[in-house]
Each structure stands twice: as structure tokens, then as C-alpha cells.
Structure 1
Amino acid sequence: MSKENSTPVVLIVSVVAIVAIVAIFVGKDNSDNEQTSKPQEPTQSTKPNKPQEPVNAAEVPDRAEKLTFPKLQYEPPSGAEYRVQLKSGPVAFVVSNRELPLVSVSIMVRTGQYNEPKGKAGVAGMTGFLLGKGGTKTRTAEELEERLAFLAAGLGSSVGATSGSVGVNTLSKDIDEGLAILREVLTAPRFQKSRFDLYKQKQLQGMKQRNDDSKSIERRELLRLAYGPDFFRNVIPTKASVESITVEDLRAFHQAWFHPDNFVVAVSGDFDRKTMVAKLEKLFAKWPFTGKAAVPVPTNKRFAKPGIYIVDKDVNQGRVNIMLPGIHRDHPDFYAVQVMNDILGGGGFTSRITNRVRSDEGLAYSAYSYMPGGTYYPLLFVAGYQSKSATVQYAAQIVLEEMRRITVEAVTDKEMVTAKSSYIQTFPQTFETKGKVAATFANEEFTGRGARNPA
């Protein structure tokens, strides 16, 4: 293998000794551009009845793969072009697009599940959901929904593991009212009692079904082994924690974290940029509470000891994950690792694991690997599949064989070109709409990479 391709191999070799296999036995298996030589264009002749020149057959390739294309040239936009530091606190990315009479405003919030008080697991998600669904000071939940429907507008809110979000989409003619509703949702949510009680009831009902779905069991146990039982992502809601949550707990969580200093804003649509910036300044001005400064996302994770971990369930199919410690997205080998994983199991039907386990052996409908880079802490490498119980061991042998093989044998030129081309050719999709431009740069700002690499 050439020097430039050796890095991902070293990474896997260095950690292959600490493989953790989670085997959960579950459900029944029902299982470069346009051709450069073009036909001649018709020409205007002084003789009206003169026939056009025929196309030379030698100019047309006999097979599609012989077509040639010019080299892809793409320059991504610059975030600095759209970035605005608002006087009222947040950083906003403001991207005008006059094609349709629509405006989208999305606010990312520096909070998450990691900010939940001890014994109150579930309060973050409950606050995030009811912020947009529980009414405001001047409107009940039903009145708010009715008004949004009349405006043909959308309002959404949530709080996940490491971030929160609130946003509104509306016709450009209604943007002033849309922003007024958004401000009231952010500053004076009602957390209506009937909606609060209904949400708790659904959460408690869902807990009773927590072990019915094999996929959810697999995911829960994978995270426990990957990060340790005390890591914030593994502190899941319980009956006791959900029942202990009150409306006042939601208000406290909201007022602690939902204020402009913790916001990053993405705005796109039909507006004049200067006018929209003025509207955003008004939206976040004179906030009625101060809140707390954002705190770093915890990184105190602990990978499990090497071994085979089994959750026994009386069914005849197995779900298997083979795990290794992963990397941070800013790791110098990140892109080499992505290409390696695409060849190994992340590239669908062009990848080795999928071809051998599914296409060649017919052992599983789904066989894959993934290795995303972590934003705040290293994530995981995972190779996985689902197969009937009788073939679980054989499929595991194949997956492990392919993991070892990619560490000791050079990949082929064809595999390398296919994997690289996949990333290169799909990269422009990151910025294919104005909404994606605003959202992408807002996310980079939110996670801190924008400050480290402003380009």
C-alpha cells in the first residue's frame, strides 16, 4: 500500500485488539463531463434546399463508459460572506434567495441532554418538544396551532443530546408575524398543562415497550458499551424521573439556556439582507431573562473491555455490532479513514462487507460499517449486520476477515477511485440550496469549527 493510504490501516491495527461484539438475538429473518466531440451544428446556407452535414459516426463512442467529461471545478461559498454578528448577541448567517416567497429562520441553542439536573432525565426533551407545542403567554396551544395553520407557517422545536433548536417557516409577506410568534415562543412559552400531561403519558407508555423492539435494544446496549453507563448519553429517562418532572422544571430549564448568547441563527429566503438583519436585531433585543453561559459538552466516556456481549432474546435472528474506538472529526487522518470505510463497508454495494455478506453469501439483507468523526468527542467504528441465528457466527467471521484484510492488503486502484469520487462528486450537495448554505455555516459556527477554520 502506498504511503498516502497507510494511515487508516494503522488506526485499525492499533485498536483491533480491543474489539467488542454486541450480539443480540432478535426477530425472524424475513429476510471527466459531456462528450467533447459534438455533432456539427446546422448552418445557414445560401442554398435553402441543401441538406445538413451528417454526423460523423467515428465521433460517437460505441460504449457509454468511453464518454469523456471535463474535470469537475467547484468553489464552495465562503461563510464570511453571510456571517453577521448581531448587536443583540447571536451570530447569524443570512442568505437571501428571491426564487420563492418563503423565509426560513432556524435557531440552534447551546444546550442539550447533558444539562439535565440529576434525577430529571427527560426534562430536556420534554422542554424542547413543548416549547413549540405547548402554547405561549397570549395563545393556548390550540390557538397557536390554528394561527400557524392560517398563515401556512411551520413552527418546530426540540432539544437533543448536544443541541437544541427552534425555528419558523413562513411566507415572506407574513415574516413580521412569524418572527413575533417566534419571539413569544422563545421568551414566554406556556407549557400548557394538558399538553404536558399528554407528553408524560406517552413517555411512560413508551417505556413499557422499550424492550419490544430489537433495534432499540441493540442501540441502547451499543451506547452503554461504547461510552460507559455514566456517560450523559446513557442516562435515559425512567418512570421515576419522568414522573418527578413538573412544569416548573421545564420553565427552569428553558430560562437557563434559551437566551441570545447561546443562539446561532440560520436565515434564508425572500428578503433584503439589510432589512432582515434589522428584523433579527429586534427579535433578540431586550431579552426578559439572562440565563446561564453555555457549558462544554462532557467527554468522560469509557470504552468497554474487549469481549463478546450477548443480550439473549427468544427469537431466531441476530443483530450484531463489532465495535472499535473511533476518532474526532478534526483528526488529521479523518478523510483517509472515510475513504477506507467507504471501501470496507460504508459504500453500499461497492463495499467489501456488503458484497461478501449480502451479495455473495446471502447471509443478511443489511451489512455495513461506519466511522463518523465525533464533534465533541471521538465516536465509534462499527461493522454490523442482521442474520438468522444459524448463520450469525459465519457472517461474523466474514466481517472480521474483511476488517483484517484491509489492514494488511493494499486496496485496488478501482476501489480507491470509486470511494474518492463518491465524496468529491457529492460534496457540492452540501451547498445545493440557499437553506443548506445557511444551515451548514451555522452548524460550523455552533460547533466551533467555523472559528478554527473560517474558510
Structure 2
Amino acid sequence: MNHFKLKAFKFINGNNTMKTTIVTLVLASIALPLFAAQQTAGTSVPKRPEEIKYGPLTFDAPDATKFRFTLKDGTAVYMAPSKEFPLISLSMTFKGGSYLEPKDMVGLAGMTGRMIREGGTTTMKPAEFDEAIDFLATQISANCGDTTSGASMNCLTSNFDESLKLFVDMLRNPGFDAARLETNRGQALEGMKQRNDDAGSIMGREWSRLMYGSDHFESRDATEASLKAITPENMRAFQTRIFNPGNVIIAVSGDFEPEAMLAKLNAAFDGWARGEKMADPPAPTATIVPGIYHVQKDIPQGKVRIGMRSIKRDDPDYIPYLLLNDILGGGGFTSRIMSQVRSNEGLAYSAGSRLSAKVYYPGVFAASYESKNPTVALAAKIVLEEMDKVRNQPVKPEELETAKRQFIETFPRTFESKPAMLGVFVGDEWTNRPKEYWKTFRDKVNAVTAADLQRVAQKYVTPNEMVLLVVGDWNTVGPGDSTGRAKMADLLGGKVTHLPLRDPMTMQPIVKMDQVAPTAPTPGGEGLAPSR
């Protein structure tokens, strides 16, 4: 029998003509009925893609209350069962993060999150724990961020019970193994040495200081001293404070029955001390000082950020501000900044703007780009001009319509998967987002007018109140471009504050900028000698 099968296989695969004929007949049998049905219906195939007509998009935002349950101790659980795959995804989101660190122990949050996962448990050495979850093909992680912390588990349905036991043991009884701590501390210290290698790292830390003040948790950086001060006892106290049933919301999606899942979670939480819910993060108290700031780094392209504090997420102007940012610089190639700086002038590969509206205090609005040092000023001039235009002139109807379609037509992607949907619900509950927000979002987007955008621009996009930060070589940035179209002295009053480069291990200034001797002044700009 096998002999005849083999001969038939060789015959068909060796005869290209026969293969082509078979494929043609199959395709014809599929296409002809479809073509006939189409002709019967009186429709025709569009000649060009732009002639294709689409029906209205119908999508209703899911109701979070239909997915919300509670455990016996009152812990909120969002569940979305699905039988697509024999997999279960479970995540726990805790309130609290680096804003709870002592000021002399910056880095404690990040190290604690890492060590919860990598430090074993009180009954299992790190290697034993790693081997156990590897054997089950289970993925487990833990982290501590700025304002929230979390842990997640992905496993097969068949070994969920065993995986959950290991997962909860890790959260309730982390081992914080001393040897693993030293390994992770050593890796962090080695990485710290490269902080000044990347201009982006310098930009990020100095920008945070300018926006929030050096004392705010968003601006604090770990140092060699602060990392060396961390002990297993410090981490255990930090973990106990944040990782407890009184400070968590759970999300579960995948192959399970809701009642059975609730029973398993109730059993897992049994006896786990219920702590307190963490307080909200503190708002920054520093006041922004507008102007030009610079950090010296000998690189061919200057990194630039121009911006100011923005608004809170639940501000009524948030949605108009979103649309304004999309038109100004957030919409990629359709945005004005990208069009002018890259497409028309060729000054940067990428240029745009971003609106960050935080929950507990105003976030930041900023434009950013990278350009050759001599053209940094020209690109900045163009960006500031575009900001002035949206303040002084209404946006075009087609710009507003494009921005609206962008948010309305991509709206369903917010809930494109069950884990993503549950993540939205968890985040909304933690931050008390208005319950009607998602149901009214598209209507509010549609209701925005060009006059709304101009009003928001005049209120929140004020160039004379902005910070312009440059990381690059000031001797070539300051004078501007060779054609004389712009120089740094022309922008935001012209005065520049040279910020010191910081020691990567201590975050203390390597050299005070008022002790750096300037080079001979260049026409239209300040000179700066290399740091000694």
C-alpha cells in the first residue's frame, strides 16, 4: 500500500503541468460562483482602492460592571473567560511604586520588583523556583513602577492550580535571596556606569528635573550609594506594604469557569493579611523656569525637547488637547511639525510632539526631534512657529476631520483583546476614571470644533512659558545654520543656561558650568569650551 502511495506522490509532485491544472480548477470552482453571485446582485468590482465604500463602524464599548466580581475579602476581580486556547492569563495590579521610596534609597522599588521574581521564596531557593515554573512552561513576572506595581502569570489550563500556588507563594513569601541580590546589584551598578554614553539618557533625566523639580520622585535617580544601601529587610518591608490584598485589583482571562476561578482565588488569598490601600502620589511643588537649557555632549546631532506642563487626564479640555496635539505633532506624517521639519526642510528624520496628561497632577506637553547641530536652532524656530500658528489661526477643516477619524476609527483597538480590555478596567478603577468616559468618548471627539482647539492652544501651548532643552555640542549648536536663518540667540529670549553633566554613579555635577571657560564668541551665539 505504501508503495502505491509513494508512486502517486512522486507522480503528482513531479508533474508541474498536472499541478498547475489542479490548482486552476480549484480556484475556478471557488471564484466562478462568487462572480456569478456578484453579477446577480448587480454589484461591480471597484476599479481603484479609493473607490471602495465602507459601511459605518459599529462598536459599543464594553461595560466594566459585567466583568467585575469580588472575593470574600472584598478584593476586586475582573474576569473574561475564553475557550479559544487552553491558556490562562492572570495579573495583579497594586497601587504604589517609587514614590514610596525613602529619598536616600532611590532604586528600592525597582530592585524589590525584580527580586520578588528572582529571589526565590522562603521555602524555595531561586534556582528551585525557576526550575519549577520552567517545568510547567509557566511565565511569571513582577515589577514596581513609578505609581503602580504588578505581577503576572501565564500558564496552561492544565497546570493552573500548581502555577497559582507558586505564584501566590512568590508574592506572599518572597525570599529575597542575598546572593541574587548581590548579582542584580552588581548588574545595576555596571549599567549605571554607561548613563552618560547615550544622549537620550541625559535628556530624560535633565528634562524630568526641569519639569518636576529635582526633589520630586519622577526626577530622582538611583546612585551607587542608594543601591548599596538596599538590604533584603528593606525590600521585605517595601513589598509587604504594597503587595497585599488590601491594595490589589486582579484580572483573569482565558480558559476557565468564573465560579471555579473565584473559589481558587479565595483559597489562595485565605490567611493573607489585608493591608492598607496606598495614598496617591504627591504632586510636584517646583515651578518651571522657562528658557533655553543645554547639556554639553560632543555628538554630531543635537537632541532637542521643547515643552511645558500640560493638564490632568480628567480635565474637560483633555480631549480637545488630544486632537490639537495630533494635528500639531502627534499624528506622524499628517502632523504639521513632521511635515515642516522633516518633509519640507529635511532637518530631522523624525519630529513630533506628545501629550502626557497624568492622573494625579498635570503631565507634560513637548515637541522633540534630533537634528545636525548647526540646524538645531532652525528646526526649533520652525517648531515654535507652528505652535504660534495653532494659537493664532483656526486649524483647517480637513486637519480636524483627519484627527477625529484617527481617534474614532482606532477606538475599538483599546479593547482589542480580553487582557487589554481588563487592563483598561483595572486602570480605570484604580484612578477613578468617570464611568461614562468610554461610552461618550467618540461623541466628545466628534463635538470638538476648530474654535475649541484654538482656545486650548491659547491656554496650554504658550511658547514664552516653555523650556527648550538641547543635548549637543554648543559650539556648533549656538551659532545656528550657515544660511543665517536661525541661531539659538533668536529663540525664547536668547539666554541659555548651561547645565552640568552629572557623574553617572553619584548624579553630582562633574563640573560647574560657571567654571567652564568659554571659547571665543561666535557670531550670534555663545561659545563653550569642552568640559575639563
Which TM bucket (shorter chain)?
Answer: 0.7 to 0.9
For residues 69 and 222 of structure 1, what CA distance do their matches in structure 2 show?
45
Call closer, same or farther: CA 1:410–1:160 in 2, change over 3 Å. same
SS at match of 1:71: coil
Partner of 1:369: 353
* CA displacement at 1:451 relative to structure 2: 6.4
Structure 1 contact 266–439 (Cα < 8 Å) conserved: yes
Which residue, out of 206, 216, 233, partners 1:248? Answer: 233
Whether the 8 Å CA contact 1:210–1:217 is kept in 2: the answer is yes
Q: Does 1:403 pair with 2:384?
A: no
> 1:213 maps to what in 2?
198
1:298 aligns with 2:298: no
Matched, 1:42 2:36: yes
User: 1:382 Cα shift?
Assistant: 0.2
Q: Classify 1:360/1:454 alpha carbon distance in 2 versus 1 (closer, same or farther; 3 Å).
A: closer
How far residue 448 of structure 1 moved from its aligned partner, in angstroms, is 2.0
Partner residue, 2:107: 122
Residues 276 and 454 of structure 1, relative CA distance in 2, 3 Å threshold: farther
1:443 aligns with 427
Aligned partners of 1:366, 1:197: CA distance in 2, in Å? Answer: 40
How many residues end up aligned between the 2 structures? 407
1:315-350, Cα deviation, whole Å (9 max, x unpaired): 221111101220111010111111111111000011
Say yes or no: does 1:162 pair with 2:147: yes
Q: Show the counterpart of 1:26.
A: none
Match of 2:171 among 174, 186, 192: 186
Read off the aligned partner of 2:133 and give its amino acid letter.
Answer: L
1:319–1:386 CA contact under 8 A, matched in 2: yes
SS in 2 for 1:209: coil
In structure 2, what is the Cα distance between the partners aligned to 1:63 and 1:452?
Answer: 41
* Distance (whole Å) between structure 2 residues aligned to residue 53 and residue 164 of structure 1: 59
Aligned to 2:484: none
Quote the residue 1:266 is aligned against.
Answer: 251
SS in 1 for 2:410: helix
2:89 is the counterpart of 1:104: yes
Q: Structure 1 residue 196 and structure 2 residue 181: aligned?
A: yes
Write the distance in 1 (CA, Å) between the matches of 2:262 and 2:405. 39
Question: Can you list the C-alpha shifts for 1:342-399, whole angstroms capped at 9, x where unaligned?
Answer: 1110000111101111111111111010112212211101011100101001101110
Q: Is the 8 A contact 1:303 1:325 kept in 2?
A: no
Compute the displacement of 1:301 (Å): 3.8
Within 5 Å, give how 1:290-369 maps onto structure 2: 290-369=274-353
- Distance of 2:335 and 2:287 partners within structure 1: 27
TM-score, normalised with respect to structure 2: 0.73
Percentage of pairs with the same residue: 41
Mapped pair 1:424 → 2:408: yes
Query: How far is the alpha carbon of 1:294 from its aligned partner?
Result: 1.1
Deviation at 1:63, TM superposition (A): 3.5
3-state SS of paired residue (1:119): helix
Please say if residues 247 and 275 of structure 2, whose CA atoms lie closer than 8 Å, have aligned partners that are also in contact: no
2:24 counterpart residue number = none
2:56 partner letter: K
CA RMSD, Structure 1 to Structure 2 (Å): 2.0
Aligned to 1:143, the other structure's residue is in SS state helix
- The whole-number CA distance in structure 2 between the counterparts of 1:138 and 1:317 is 53
Contact 1:89 1:284 in 2 (8 A): no
The answer for the alignment partner of 1:147 in structure 2 is 132
Task: Identify if the C-alpha distance between structure 1 residues 108 and 55 changes in structure 2 by more than 3 Å, giving closer, same or farther.
Answer: closer
Note if contact 1:91-1:264 (Cα within 8 Å) is conserved in structure 2: yes
CA separation of 1:254 and 1:40: change in aligned 2, threshold 3 A:
closer
- For the pair 1:393 / 2:377, whether they are aligned, the reply is yes
SS in 2 for 1:229: coil
Shift of 1:302: 2.3
Aligned residue for 1:70, secondary structure, equals: coil
1:32 alignment counterpart: none
The amino acid that maps onto 2:170 is V
Once the two structures are superposed, what CA deviation does each residue of 1:151-210 show, in whole Å capped at 9, x if it has no partner? 111000000100100111100111111110111011111111111001111121122111
Structure 1: which amino acid aligns with 2:381? Q
**Do 2:61 and 2:438's aligned partners in 1 also have CA atoms closer than 8 Å?**
no
Question: For residue 205 of structure 2, what is the amino acid of its counterpart?
Answer: R
Seen in structure 2, the aligned counterparts of structure 1 residues 134 and 42 have a Cα distance that, compared at 3 Å, is same
Structure 1: runs of 5+ lacking an equivalent: 1-38, 44-51
- Distance change in 2, residues 1:53/1:100 (3 Å): closer
Decide whether the 8 Å contact of 1:445 with 1:451 is kept in 2.
Answer: no
Secondary structure of residue in 2 paired with 1:371: strand
1:63/1:135 Cα in 2 relative to 1: closer, same or farther (>3 Å)?
Answer: same
1:413 alignment partner, one of 386, 397, 415: 397
Instruction: Indicate yes or no: 2:69 matched with 1:84.
Output: yes
SS in 2 for 1:382: strand
Question: Does the 8 A contact of 2:142 with 2:151 survive in 1?
Answer: yes
Partner of 1:277: 262
Higher relative contact order (CA 8 A, sep 6+): 1
Query: Which amino acid in structure 1 is aligned with residue 332 of structure 2?
Result: G
**Partner Cα distance (2:56, 2:40) in 1:** 29
Q: 1:225 and 2:219 equivalent?
A: no
1:373 partner letter: A
Which deviations, in whole Å up to 9, do the C-alpha atoms of 1:230-261 show, x marking residues without a partner? 11111211111111111111111111221101
**What is the letter of the counterpart of residue 177 of structure 1?**
E
Cα distance in 1 between the residues matched to 2:222 and 2:40: 74
Aligned to 2:220: 235
